Amino acid sequence: MSENCGNFTLEAAQAYLAREPDMTVDQISDRLFTVSDGQCRTIFVAADESVIAFDTFGTPGRARAYGRAIAETLPGKAINTVIYSHDHLDHAGFAADLAPGAEIIADEMCAKVIKCRGAEGQSVPTRVLRGERNELTIDGVELVLLNPGPTHGSGNMAAYFADEKVLFSSDTVLANAKYGFMPDYHFANFVKFMRGFLELDWERFVPGRYELTDRAGFERGCDFIEAVQETCQQAFANFVPIWMYEPMKGFVGGQLGERFGDLDGFDGHIGQMSIRIVHHYLMGGWGLEDTPEPAVLLEDQVSL
């Protein structure tokens, strides 16, 4: 294949990998910008002499479009640093196409998964962070990177900008219901760690998809996920056939429609969400990643 192909093996994927969508950039402060391809979203920061880009978007074409959007916004500044919010290819898969020579910063767990995965185009992190809170200064920009524990994917890292009163946390709480949760959400810990971010002083939340929200929207997003978790448990008590899509959609959607039916995407996604979450209770999660210390999973097996 001519494009870096991530995990794809079919030549037919080329068209998907190469497409370069329009990007929309919005300025949050003097130094901080958010950018979206209409679905995924991330942030980048103007440093003194360079640009710090969070994530890469999910194909080589999208990474190039992201790079172009940055160059148009901050002409003359190279992307010298890329920070991965988590390991997933649809957000952090194509640094090789965005900024081949950049320093790549990631959480240790994220770095280990990426090393083992070996996906084409997903650059291996060159600087690995450990622990819940890391404060770094990169080219004049002070960064606070937070990993309170497993929320989504492997080695999830949020960014807190105290001066801007902004929190960025990719693929976590959305301002809508437009995500059919996959096994990569860690429901044993998710809401607890996300609510923990409310202890910080911020007013705007930048999610990894769709539109920005405020503290009230963020709290409602947590309430929604918690309500789906509770209703999925009630499905057992009501002997709903939990492995079937339509009965689960009907039960959970019916229970929560009055309270959360106004969330964009509710009708189209509540069934998928329910199927995913109900199996957390049936099966106990997806292994060690659904415990508070997922790093033990790769502790002795993978060295960086």
Which one among 153, 155, 221, 271 touches Zn ion, defined by CB under 5 A?
153
Locate tokens 């309430």: which residue? 223
- Please choose, out of 81-89, 118-126, 215-223, 290-298, the segment that lies near Zn ion by the rule CB under 5 A: 81-89
Token reading at 217: 């929207």
Asked whether position 289 contacts Zn ion by CB under 5 A, the answer is no
Contact (CB, 8 A) for 173 and 207: yes
The CB-side HSE value for 132 (13 A sphere, CA atoms) comes to 7
| Residue 171 interacts with Zn ion (CB under 5 A): yes or no | yes
Amino acid at 139: D
Least distance in angstroms from the C-beta of 159 to Zn ion: 15
Q: For Zn ion, which stretch binds (CB under 5 A), given 114-122, 167-175, 251-259, 267-275?
A: 167-175
- Contact track, Zn ion, 36-75, x by CB under 5 A: ----------------------------------------
With respect to Zn ion, which residue has the nearer C-beta, 90 or 97? 90
Of 108 and 171, nearer to Zn ion (C-beta) is: 171
Angle in degrees, 0-180, between the axes of helices 266-283 and 215-237, rounded to the nearest 10:
60
Cβ contact 144:162 at 8 Å? yes
Minimum CB distance to Zn ion, residue 88 (Å)? 4
Q: β-strand 204-207 against 50-54: which pairing, if any?
A: unpaired
Among 31, 62, 88, 204, binds Zn ion (CB under 5 A): 88
The span from the CA of 266 to the CA of 178, in Å, is 7
Residues engaged in binding Zn ion (CB under 5 A): 88, 153, 171
